[in-house]
Amino acid sequence: MDDIFDEMWGRDGQTRGPYKNFSTWLDGEDPSRLRAKQREAEELFRLTGITFNVYGRAEAEERLIPFDIVPRIISGSEWQKLSRGIEQRVRAINAFLHDIYHRQEIIKAGRIPQEMIARNEAFLPQMLGVTPPGGIYTHIVGIDLVCTDAGQFYVLEDNARTPSGVSYMLENRETMLQMFPELFSRNKVRPVSNYPRDLLRSLAACAPPNCEGRPTVGVLTPGIYNSAYFEHAFLADQMGVELVEGHDLRVIDGRVAMRTTQGYKPIDVLYRRIDDDFIDPLNFNPESQLGVPGIMDVYRAGGITIANAPGTGIADDKAIYSYMPEIVEFYTGERPLLENVPTWRCAEPDALAYVLDNLADLVVKEVHGSGGYGMLIGPTASKKDIATFRRKLQARPANYIAQPTLSLSTVPIFTRGGLAPRHVDLRPYVLVSPEGIKITPGGLTRVALKKGSLVVNSSQGGGTKDTWVLED
């Protein structure tokens, strides 16, 4: 792994600046104490109930998310540079969403083909002409980043619909503070604990115009069998708001109201954690038992804020992602501060031909895929897997994009044999409201716990780390 950049040791084995205090502390620690602390962390997660569900598997429906005690550390200057790029990108995504549901200037300008929007299953015609309260479509955004060298980050994908994992970010920090308080006295680490308060304030600032007094906010969950249910309950509890399911809500006198012990009470802002298709059986999937009949009519009339807005999923589309450099430039007039990973759109015949010829060297993903499912990592795939994927690609080329296999950076994890490098990515969380854009310093670092693996998703065997942003 000599050619891979390690964020603690660089390429030459010398401890990098952000890690020097941590490295000095680590050298003075007894490995047996650290092993005990690693077990203690796992027990804390088990007691707290920090789990996720794995779909499509009969065994072990609910799993403990693995946590590693070695933090990922980012310098303040590096974070400042990253933040500027993230903010620029999020502003562009919001402007893009407003445009495609109104005048569609980017299509008229020839910067994006019309069929990329019109034939996209994430595009909602029901949102045409609708402007959400405050003009905000993406209230909570997660931008997935990968690092390949010192200060060199690429955007891997955008999560503008319902980005998950923020509860792990908060619990990771709480666990580290509890187990290693001395580390935080040695290092000036920027806090993340105010995220729930910031989230509540940001959501309240997006209340609809007819809201009287302090806005009533709720979190809409599909229920206990959802993979992120722990997070839904956690965030509702941390914000001090109600966690509701579809059957707890109904439309009364043109408002969405939730059931309480004192009867039904109007709700102003709904942080929804269910997909568009299930929000409203009268407007979308008539079979849905998870949504609220008529909520879209109230929303279009300006009677409630839904965060994130219906239809934002088109910005998650990996084929749209490939146009993000053009989108950023079109709406901001600036060159993108954060680069995309080079991407081949398999819907285009020349790109498809190249991808089919180079499957063994590429990463191929479904345009609407998530969680590490439905993807091919060519360099680690068997000949049989590649042949199977080739048939899928030929049958539905527009359903896929392909990217080169990047040399993702590594960060050490704590193993029985000591520290060992593992590949990581980073998901910073961004809150957007009429008051501005707020980026939580750090975010969620996901780590591939298997040696050499590039797949960091918890559903595919990955774990998480605490992410430190240092004060300069």
What SS3 class is residue 469? strand
pLDDT at res. 460: 67
Q: Smallest Cα–Cα separation from 283: which of 270, 274, 296?
A: 296
Sort residue 370 into left (φ over 0), alpha (ψ -120 to 50) or beta: beta
Q: Smallest Cα–Cα separation from 421: which of 412, 408, 430?
A: 412
pLDDT at res. 372: 59
Give me the count of residues in the chain: 472
Phi, psi (rounded to 5 degrees) for 99? -65, -45
Q: Smallest Cα–Cα separation from 217: which of 305, 310, 312, 300?
A: 305
Q: Domains in the chain and their CATH numbers?
A: 17-340+409-469 (no CATH), 344-404 (3.30.1490.270)
Query: How far is it, in rounded angstroms, from Cα 344 to Cα 351?
Result: 6
pLDDT at res. 456: 83
Q: Within a 10 A sphere around the Cβ of 342, how many other Cβ atoms?
A: 11
Q: Extract the tokens encoding 18.
A: 């952000």
Q: How many degrees, rounded to 5, is the angle at CA 322 between CA 317 and CA 328?
A: 100
120 near 96, Cβ under 8 Å? Answer: no
pTM across the whole model: 0.93
pLDDT at res. 212: 84
Per-residue pLDDT of the chain (472 residues; tens, 9 = 90+): 458 999 999 999 999 999 999 999 999 999 999 999 999 988 888 887 765 555 454 444 566 788 999 999 999 999 999 999 999 999 999 999 999 999 999 999 999 999 999 988 899 999 999 999 999 999 999 999 999 999 999 999 999 999 999 999 999 999 999 999 999 999 999 999 999 999 999 999 999 998 889 999 999 999 998 888 999 999 999 999 999 999 999 999 999 999 999 999 999 999 999 999 999 999 999 999 999 999 999 999 999 999 999 999 999 998 899 999 999 999 999 999 999 999 999 999 999 999 999 999 999 998 876 655 678 988 888 999 999 999 999 999 989 999 998 889 999 999 988 899 999 999 999 999 999 999 999 999 999 998 888 878 766 678 999 999 999 7
pLDDT at res. 373: 66
